[in-house]
Amino acid sequence: MDRLDFTPLVVGRAAAWRRLAFLICGDWQGAEDLVQTAVMRLYRQWHRLDAEGVEGYARQVISRLAIDAAKKRSRFGEVRAELPERASVGQGSPEDAMDVRTALAGVPAGQRAVLVLRFYLDLSVAETAEALGIGTGTVKSQCARGLETLRTLLLGADPAVRAPQERK
């Protein structure tokens, strides 16, 4: 691909990549840092990528950077008291979206990345495995564990929220 195609693509996709990064890391500033690093890596690999591979490569880099950053934070015990900006995504009320985002922050980083790629970006198990560089079995188990953790966190926060099998 030509280097002249790089800037329009990044300008067009930056907001979506930032939302993806935010959902994985839970912090707007961190999300901006992740996207900036991903764009730099994308630029370095631009000559090797084909047009269909750019989006997948960007998702993969953002996801892996977010997981690495979460591991570093947990090693050094960083604590953040900032609340994310309030933005509504998907269906439901803004309060529900905020509850899910808050609960998502309590899910371990690897499981959170799988959940975001599977349910926010609507990637298949195989596409998620490829984006994260893990096996499909790992995607399935991390997804199941992540959903269970998310369900536990949401039920603890609001008893009115029920998992599909618990609804009557």
Boundaries of every domain in the chain: 1-81, 92-160
Q: What class is the 1-81 domain?
A: mainly alpha
Q: Is-contact 115 146, C-beta < 8 A? A: yes
pLDDT, residue 158, reads 46
Q: Is-contact 142 111, C-beta < 8 A? A: yes
* Amino acid present at 10: V
* pTM of the predicted structure, to 2 decimals: 0.54
Residue 115 scores a pLDDT above 70: yes
pLDDT, residue 49, reads 86
Of the listed ranges 32-36, 113-117, 120-124, 136-140, the least confidently predicted one is 120-124
Average pLDDT, the chain: 80
3-state secondary structure at position 47: helix
For the segment 135-163, the average pLDDT, to the nearest whole number, is 79
Residue 124 scores a pLDDT above 60: yes
pLDDT in tens, 48-99: 888 888 888 999 999 989 888 877 765 554 445 554 444 434 456 677 777 8
Q: Is-contact 105 26, C-beta < 8 A? A: yes
pLDDT, residue 5, reads 85
pLDDT, residue 134, reads 92
3-state SS of 113-166 is HHHHHHHHCCCCHHHHHHHHCCCHHHHHHHHHHHHHHHHHHHHHHCCCCCCHHH
Reading the block at residue 71, the tokens are 């591991």
In this structure, CATH architecture of domain 92-160:
Orthogonal Bundle (1.10)
Q: Among residues 70, 69, 75, 42, which one has the least CA distance to residue 56? A: 42
Residue 11 scores a pLDDT above 70: yes
| Cα–Cα distance list, 63 to 22, 81, 110 (Å) | 10, 23, 9
| Cα–Cα distance list, 142 to 19, 129, 132 (Å) | 21, 11, 12
pLDDT, residue 42, reads 92
Reading the block at residue 69, the tokens are 């950053």
Q: Among residues 119, 111, 120, 103, which one has the least CA distance to residue 139? A: 111
pLDDT, residue 14, reads 92
pLDDT, residue 141, reads 93
